[in-house]
Amino acid sequence: MSHLIRSSLWLLFFGTILLSWLMLYMMAVDMDLDLLGRPGPMGQAMAEMDPRMPMDMPMARFGPLFAMWAVMMAAMMLPTLVPTLTTYEKLMVSADGTRAGWVGLLLGYFIVWVGFAAVIAGLQLALLFGGVINMLGIAPVWFSAALLIIVGAFQFTRIKEVCHGVCHAPMTYFLGHWKTGFSGGLRMGIGLGAFCVVCCWGYMALGFVGGVMSLAWMGLATLLMVFEKLPEIGHRVIKPVGVVLIAAGLGLAIF
């Protein structure tokens, strides 16, 4: 019975990820965008719209933007949680972890990222009505270059190092903050989610460089965050990624 529950929960977990990516693809199609986030004729017309026009424009309202970012969080961040969930499962054998705690851990983690989705949706609206980005969430060259350099530089900070250390080695966090049952898992999930947000916010913000609905950017950002959490190579990719981002930002600014 326990094996059936475990299999069902993992299938639901991966099914949620696949469904989220499907929803993002359908959103991109509805907005007339290709995989790189480049608009077709309809998408270009949308990009040139003034958000203050007296007509219903979902991308200029908080609700639809928040829903879009929440789906992105599920699609991009849940895959990075796999090492953490499997680490917790090990403690279900050696400690007193439970399947309810596993669910609580997952839920707590997602709650934090949904909260971040609300923050970045609000930021997108502010940038949109401030004239910094267009309706598709694409920023001008100067803003994109600055963002690339800032996010790249963040890869070398002590904050990134500390938060990545927690995300990269969740066993240490569990041993220092161990709580039992669903509520315990929920609390640990919220704590781990907070460290993860601070660690990975930059990859999310880079969506404004090529457009927040660019599936290529989402896939690359997800891959980088997954690599950062892999036990053997996670700590080795942080600074090289920072160098690449800074170089890309300088190149964009110069050329």
Residue 1: per-residue pLDDT: 59
Cα–Cα dist 21/77, whole Å: 12
Residue 46: per-residue pLDDT: 77
Task: Report the number of distinct structural domains present in the chain.
Answer: 1
CA atoms within 13 A on the CB side of 154: 18
Q: What b/e readout covers 42-56, taking b as 16+ CB neighbours within 10 angstroms?
A: ebeebbeeeeeeeee
Strand, coil or helix: what is 39? strand
Residue 5: per-residue pLDDT: 85
Residue 196's CB is within 10 A of a number of other CB atoms, namely 26
- Counting Cβ atoms within 10 Å, is residue 10 exposed (0-12), middle (13-18) or buried (19+)? middle
Residue 225: per-residue pLDDT: 92
- DSSP annotation of 81: G
Domain ranges, residue 144: 2-254
Per-residue pLDDT of the chain (255 residues; tens, 9 = 90+): 578 888 899 999 999 999 999 999 999 988 888 887 778 888 788 777 777 777 778 888 999 999 999 999 999 999 999 989 999 998 887 777 788 999 999 999 999 999 999 999 999 999 999 989 988 888 899 999 999 999 999 999 999 999 999 988 888 899 899 988 999 999 999 999 999 999 999 999 998 887 888 898 899 999 999 889 887 788 889 999 999 999 999 999 887
Place of tokens 């961040």: 77
Cα–Cα dist 2/95, whole Å: 17
User: Which of 200-204's residues contact partners 24+ apart within 8 Å by CB, and which partners?
Assistant: 200/77, 200/80, 200/167, 200/225, 200/228, 201/116, 202/150, 202/151, 202/154, 202/155, 203/151, 204/72, 204/76, 204/116, 204/120
- Counting Cβ atoms within 10 Å, is residue 132 exposed (0-12), middle (13-18) or buried (19+)? middle
Cα–Cα dist 77/218, whole Å: 10
Residue 148's CB is within 10 A of a number of other CB atoms, namely 24
This prediction has a pTM of 0.90
- DSSP annotation of 33: B
Chain mean position to CA 164: 14
Which DSSP helix (H) or strand (E) runs through 246? helix 234-254
Cα–Cα dist 146/210, whole Å: 13
Residue 21's CB is within 10 A of a number of other CB atoms, namely 20
Residue 57: per-residue pLDDT: 80
Sequence-distant (6+) residues with CB within 8 A of 39 are 31, 32, 33, 46, 47, 136
